[in-house]
Structure 1
Amino acid sequence: MTLLTAAALVLSGCASWQIKQRAWADRVEALPGVESLKLIYANTWPNGGVKHDVTLVLAPGISEAEARKIAAVSCESDPTITSISVSTSGSVVGERRVDKYEIATRACIDADELARFSHAMAAMAALGPDFVGNFEQAGWSEIDPADMSRDWNFPAASYSVNVPVTEGAMLIDAIRELTARITDVPLSVRGTEVSDGDLWNDGGARVDVWLTPDADFERIAPALAAALALPYTGILATDDSITVRLAADANFSSPEAAAFLAAADAAGIAAGVSPILLKSGDPSGERELLDAVRAVPGGVAVSATRETDLVVQTYTLEGTRAAAELLFASSDFKASFEVWSPEPDGFAVSFSPAGPSVGALSAFPAAAYAAAERAHAELPEGGTLRMNIRGDELTLSARYLPDTSFADMQEVRAILEPISGLGRDTELFNQVIVTPIPKDPAGS
């Protein structure tokens, strides 16, 4: 009987707790400018605690005054609310949405934040029915400005909005409307051209635009439009500069590139064109590196991805090593590089930027490279062997499909263990990874 009474008391306390959240939600939902409010309760024990998550859907045409009133009422009481997300739609599908995940992590919504959200909604409405895109407010970014150019992140203390669109011209229009309405704080817009029309797939090349409240976007717009016409893998625009990272196999002297540089010059905007987005701050040095890589024995094909700044496909093993040595010597660029041996060999050398706490090798690791190259020649077909250099850390990774036979995977291990030298004076690599792990067919 005592146990039953204790259980009843716990449930009673829980019920009274829910009443506070529901009363808060009812007050907010009744306000002008609120279309709906969803309050979700979840108990994630043992991995987490009790959650009270809110999705607030605002009505089209909400005014700034209505947004600020909603924020004020939300702060009149303080029940436990773990997150508040705000949107123009309660649906998880569709286009022309404006969203902000976790505009607040308690019951009280910041009035300025919600006001800016209403401004973004007004910007979306002003774009008209032909605009195909979404706005996702990422909110405040607190990135150290010293890391801005190197890591290509938003500047500190800026209000950021992600804008996926289907055409570059729509991105120009979206930025114009946003800058006309969000005028009291620095604005960071990250645009993505989604060629396949899937606005929920953020896989396209990025366009970052960082503007102060005093920026004249109409001055910048023609040069930015010219930049979008180039075969770019990234664009970074500020109040007075635009840098374009062209695809590494693009023509840097094309009429389109000349038109971009002319448009920037006419607007008095500093312009740069580089395959590595000027991460080194040395565009001429980056061009020289690209020319040197293209001249390695046997020739190369170069490209770039969003994850890797420069991908080099070589046509001879001599060229593979020569390209790897060139890129090793260019580690000051703090860029990511990848070199592939002649197809279909499946041998790659990759370079990852090292953090400030990681040391650097004084010379190209010739012994480790030669050991990796020999190992690859002996390995069973069907896999990929990658040597990654990150500062003074060397990793060797062999990857095969999960259905590779047990005998083949045992052979991979037998080849790699002697050359790795792990735990011995002859150690060549900090880590050797074999995937998948060889498993005995009997399940041992």
Structure 2
Amino acid sequence: MAKKIIILGSGESGVGAALLAKQKGFDVFVSDSSSLKEPYKKELDEAGIQWEEGGHSMDVILAADEVVKSPGIPEKVPVMKAIREKGISVISEIELAYRYKGDSKIVAITGSNGKTTTTTLIHHICITGGLDAALVGNVGFSFARQVAQSPKPYYIVEVSSFQLDDIKTFKPEIAVLTNITEDHLDRYDYKFENYIASKFRIIMNQDEHDYFIYSEDDEVTTQYLEKFKNHSNPLPISMRKETNGAFIKDGDMYVRTGEDFITMSVEDFFQKGKHNQYNTMAACLAAEKLDIRKDRIKEAVQTFQSLEHRMEPVITVRGVEFINDSKSTNVNSVWYALESMVKPTVLILGGVDKGNDYSILKDLVKQNVRAIVCMGTDNSKIYEGFADAGVPIVDTASAQEAVRASFELAQKGDVVLLSPACASFDLFKNYEDRGTQFKQAVRDL
């Protein structure tokens, strides 16, 4: 009799897992407490996979041999409590995909900030360098879907802490941890240590044949390194000192993992800003360990385009430049964005607060922010956080209102920056929807 696998959640991750499990001969059932999108319903139907929406059939779920939990589902919901009480094995979609990836190599990237940029840059270097690599995980298709429908010899996987929480054997040949800052604390009992431990799970199964790329300048990472380190080969990146990994010195990047090294000027990086220099060092180190030629790595770094919704220039309207950084869903992302601004800035903040502490932004706000425009259903924490910053704060309740208010507050030569520091689910479907509505509102000015 076929092993019974229940897929909880029907987004890209859940549907990808369902398709792979079905392909491998399991008895698969998809259950979602909300509604399934029509294209996913069609896919599941065509694959002969049973599904339900708007609730959970607990008798069916609790008869499972294994549950694949989508990353958005918290442990505290009743269905998860019941599954845990029954002692049923729970895994994430990346764990399922890992079991069937064959001989393929994995580069996995996690971190609080910069992981999407680093992931897509590594993928861009791989493609430029002639490797047949898939971009999967939190960007592109789910890892499981890619394994099921179009297997590749290389997978460049962006992984979140939620996905890492439910791995058992998942082991990347190259793991990248960009940095760790307070984020998603609502899912970790508001304990920073729990979130840190979750991020370090990326190296949990690595051995002496694998590599771990991390920022030696990130105090949280270095503070916990001894506690979580394993047998893999450490490759630190730094702007403060020379390392046996990658470092920046006098405006040049050096990637040095042995006798030989790659060097190029940071002026040649397509991606500007200090945070992108860290992302680029990590990506070049990973590429070097994949044996990609030096000239290809340099070419890729010089030609890499910025991502949609991540410091994405929209247009300039009557001397006011608009930038879409909707993917910025935590305070540290906003800090990086503001730190790279060279013009006076009108900052659009707000959404679903995740336990944000806005104090780290205060100095940058005082120095360079002309006004703050709130875009959320509850902006009280933003008002509290910047009450003494000496800048005007206004409320808006849509992308259109926020854009109009920002444009009125801005002066010629200013930047309007959407960098919300919050999740988007109060007014939008997701951060992409928020960014798309923002761009449309700017074009409608």
Scaled by the length of structure 2, the TM-score of the pair is 0.28
Higher relative contact order (CA 8 A, sep 6+): 2
Instruction: Tell me which structure has the larger Cα radius of gyration.
Output: 1
TM-score (norm 1): 0.28
